[in-house]
Amino acid sequence: LIATERPSGPPCLEFWFEFGSNYSYFSVMRIEELARRSGVAIAWKPFLLGPIFRDLGWSSSPFVLQPEKGRYVWRDMEREALKYGLQFRKPSEFPRVAVLPMRVALLGSGQPWMGAFCREVMRQNWVDDLDINDPGNVRRALTGLTPEPEAVMEEAQSAANKMRLRDQTAEARKRGIFGAPTFFFNDEMFWGNDRLEDAIAFAQAARPE
């Protein structure tokens, strides 16, 4: 069962993520099950990390700009994947452009297929080493999840939806987001996959009796 959002229902945790972000991979794979078990709803908030990094004065990911940290991070990813029981292969390209799947994800927020779609895109990037911005791969990730994948693909590329992704990215910047994944419960911000459990516990504690 996939939990759907109910505005006046369970406490709702915002999940800001990027398909190109390596630590977002673990959170995308884990969040739906964790949130379901805790009675917390998820508001999926895809945004583009590139413009945020550029705004902060970085031309790329810190894991590219800082070679020491970069070397460390790929080993950390291997160990963390093992800990979570997830597959992981270092992609041949990092960070990958993810604009098209991010646009689809924007349409998917609140749809029952959102979690499964996001996990499939992440698997393409972090397990199968595929170009996740390729329309064929995005279409394959949607296949079987929605009766009209082609309509979703088309709407994803509409001018209005492109603008929505730019707006959501601007909102991320305004909220003080500097990396991904980031979780918000109201104004309470949690940064990084390492804080996913804490963020869910925080939201759960706010649940009405």
Report the interface residues with a copy of itself, using CB under 8 A.
56, 66, 68-69, 71-72, 75-76, 79, 83, 176-178, 188-191, 194-195, 198
Q: Assign residue 192 a region: left if phi > 0, alpha if psi is -120 to 50, beta otherwise?
A: left
C-beta closer to a copy of itself: residue 93 or 198: 198
Shortest Å, Cβ 192 to a copy of itself: 8
C-beta closer to a copy of itself: residue 5 or 51: 51
Measured between alpha carbons, how far is 201 from 34 in angstroms, rounded to an integer?
10
What are the residues facing 42 on neighbouring strands? 13
C-beta closer to a copy of itself: residue 48 or 107: 48
Angle subtended at Cα 8 by Cα 117 and Cα 148, rounded to the nearest 5 degrees: 25
C-beta closer to a copy of itself: residue 148 or 188: 188
Shortest Å, Cβ 98 to a copy of itself: 22
Q: Is the peptide bond before 46 cis (omega within 30 degrees of 0)?
A: no
* Spatial CA neighbour of 171 closest among 39, 25, 83, 46: 46
Shortest Å, Cβ 46 to a copy of itself: 20
Shortest Å, Cβ 69 to a copy of itself: 5
Shortest Å, Cβ 72 to a copy of itself: 6
Q: What share of the chain is helix, strand, coil (3-state, %, to 5)?
A: 55, 10, 35
C-beta closer to a copy of itself: residue 71 or 89: 71
